[in-house]
Structure 1
């Protein structure tokens, strides 16, 4: 590679880094993307069950709302590259997209590889130089301006750097939080990191016996005593360790940030469209009209049979109990179990299985209009390294695309301004 300084060094070849490098190169910058893996975008291939949930079918303001209090940080990034523009970007690269009932947007092919190859081909056309199998070891500001980056294979200088080294989720993809130490050494404050969108483990065995069962519409709450810490209505999957699926993943943040997760309970409303009196009336009617049927068979008209059997077992009711003569006290127990089924929480599966990282570089130290560090001019930050994490459904990819695009835009504008200034002088 040429020894003359690069206009921009992009550190980290994930979603944000690839988008940032594309934008900066297309605007005329000489860009080097440094990636520790054999190729960029490894985590993209694992996302969405290897399908890659590109974004969500909603307006930009809905993305901001979905991220909660930190969502306002994304206003400028979404204005630069919003949800519609992301879809147009990939459609323009030959990746046809589809909108699922949940609002998630996927490639029609259901192949994350198509998304990754679209990005790689766009980088190639833009003229981005990619250095793979190089881990970043140091980032040092130069007295005269610009930066030196030392990697496992050498060193590079550039006027501007975009830091997109990701978070700590799916460390098998190489995302081990390397960027936090670099940012902290440069003076940035790091909000303590924790797993988010991660499966939940429980301190009881019966959910594991139901592994493979998916409930398409339930309401899930995380409770500390009777205080609600988080709530989500969506689908739920029973697994050998506990619970997964969108509902569990979205409330997991409240568990991973709690000092004593074992003190928490998970409460599931199995029939959120039904009120307790209506369920009680249903059981009473079935007791009178279908008395010869087993109670489990009656419950199985509303719930998966294996789940119905598990509820009866938890209530210490015989599996072959008939529906006839169901006393009021037993009806109330069943109704309560259906509407407020509780499980003691153990914790989560941690960063190894987390889809995103909560925490990261403090947002007040980054200019949301440009993604530039307020501490070191010329340093830009984008993607999961920032303290921004949203719910499941393509929101986090949207944040990565948008912050990367905005960072790439601003470094290119700054580089052009600097070139113009030097030309005049």
Structure 2
């Protein structure tokens, strides 16, 4: 079958950029199609514009943090492309990285530098990206390959890699194109839910426009039956009646992955102290001032002092039951929980089980992780895995010729040389080999 190219990559976000650069290094003829006017728009927002690209951990520990079923599904991708592998690759491509509390950032702590690392590499490889080019439909062809229809051109390719992201931050181009295409091709797609999102509470802790940050809290999550389904640790960011921060974000991811309909949250502002130890530290006079001494910001200290006025202060601060009004919407979430079902994808190659030649990478699939660089690493690792699988099909490694082996089979015994019978002077017979012709005496 004649094709325009060997591979079409749909999407130029984190997964798409990694796929494009990796395909270029592998000498795969690829074209990348991007809906927006420039690549990596959501990448620029990651980690508060610092771009937390990964988490420094051993693969088994990293996989455990994703939780099931992702712990099993991502095993090949993470083991074949670890956080150390990512840092070495970034250094090779010109980006130095640092680790801060195991979170890996560019040394400059600027998301722009991560994006430039990819775009510079792609430019050096002369790998084409077509912008303002949303994909409208993908059709498998009878003799193999795919027809890809866009608003500008139609292309054919042997392989297609979908890397269109999820539904969050739609202004960056994450509008669910890949999930729609997967549904049209008959694949199962899990409903999208907000992961790593904020929470609105019914009673505001601060006035509108006020903002405070608490560095280390714990959040316990309970289902509608009161069963504890998880706990998270991290910071708390309070803005009016909205709670954000890593502890809250990771808690809402647990809610989304477990499809909890009526979750409840209990906050512990002092997870490293017991209630009795906290009580002795706070004392009985001027609770707000005591809270400030314990590291709670001034505005929140006054708010918590008022909320606990008729209660046991230490017990209240160790078990603040949130009256949740709502979880922030999907468009504001950091990641999308849901997407192409993991049952539809071969985790050792990222290829669709039902449609050979169609591959997936990143958040388009039902893949997400906690805060700390897990989501970007999953996008990079699945993109590398998919491209390596495509390369193996396009450029199969030649089989080594078998080395000659010695034949140890039983051989026939050697025949003795032809002999002539002669009589010695003593009359006894002895056998002598026949001499060569040039030594025979004339008759």
TM-score by length of 1: 0.87
Residue in structure 1 matched with residue 32 of structure 2 by the alignment: 33
Alpha-carbon distance in 2 for matches of 1:419, 1:157: 27
Does the 8 Å contact 1:197/1:252 carry over to 2?
A: yes
The Cα shift of 1:97 comes to 1.1
Alpha-carbon distance in 2 for matches of 1:417, 1:91: 28
Mapping of residues 120-131 of structure 1, within 5 Å: 120-131=119-130
SS in 1 for 2:95: coil
Alpha-carbon distance in 2 for matches of 1:357, 1:372: 21
The Cα shift of 1:305 comes to 3.1
Residue in structure 1 matched with residue 409 of structure 2 by the alignment: none
The RMSD of aligned alpha carbons is: 2.2
The Cα shift of 1:384 comes to 0.6
Alpha-carbon distance in 2 for matches of 1:294, 1:75: 53
SS in 2 for 1:213: strand
SS in 2 for 1:49: coil
Give aligned pairs, total: 395
Per chain length, whose mean CA-contact separation is higher, i.e. which structure has more relative contact order (CA < 8 Å, sep 6+)? 1
Alpha-carbon distance in 1 for matches of 2:325, 2:288: 29
Residue in structure 1 matched with residue 270 of structure 2 by the alignment: 271
Mapping of residues 75-114 of structure 1, within 5 Å: 75-101=75-101, 103-114=102-113
Whether 1:304 and 2:297 are equivalent positions in the alignment is yes
Structure having the higher Rg: 2
Residue in structure 1 matched with residue 250 of structure 2 by the alignment: 250
Mapping of residues 159-198 of structure 1, within 5 Å: 159-198=158-197
Whether 1:378 and 2:371 are equivalent positions in the alignment is no
Residue in structure 2 matched with residue 400 of structure 1 by the alignment: 379
Higher helix share: 1
SS in 2 for 1:300: helix
Residues 162-211 of structure 1: CA deviation (Å, up to 9, x unaligned): 11111111111010111111111112111111111111111112245694
SS in 2 for 1:296: helix
Residue in structure 2 matched with residue 322 of structure 1 by the alignment: none
Residues 12-47 of structure 1: CA deviation (Å, up to 9, x unaligned): 111111111222222121100000111111111111
Mapping of residues 16-55 of structure 1, within 5 Å: 16-55=15-54
Does the 8 Å contact 1:384/1:400 carry over to 2?
A: yes
Alpha-carbon distance in 1 for matches of 2:398, 2:240: 59
Residues 235-269 of structure 1: CA deviation (Å, up to 9, x unaligned): 111112411111011101244568786x4433211
Does the 8 Å contact 1:136/1:149 carry over to 2?
A: yes
Alpha-carbon distance in 1 for matches of 2:86, 2:260: 40
- Of 358, 361, 369, the match for 2:337: 358
Which ranges in structure 1 are unaligned for 5 or more consecutive residues? 288-292, 318-329, 421-425
Residues 59-108 of structure 1: CA deviation (Å, up to 9, x unaligned): 1222211110122111211233211111111122222211112x111112
Alpha-carbon distance in 2 for matches of 1:4, 1:299: 68
Alpha-carbon distance in 1 for matches of 2:32, 2:233: 40
Alpha-carbon distance in 1 for matches of 2:210, 2:250: 19
The Cα shift of 1:409 comes to 1.1
Does the 8 Å contact 2:205/2:300 carry over to 1?
A: no
TM-score by length of 2: 0.84
Alpha-carbon distance in 1 for matches of 2:358, 2:291: 60
SS in 1 for 2:393: helix
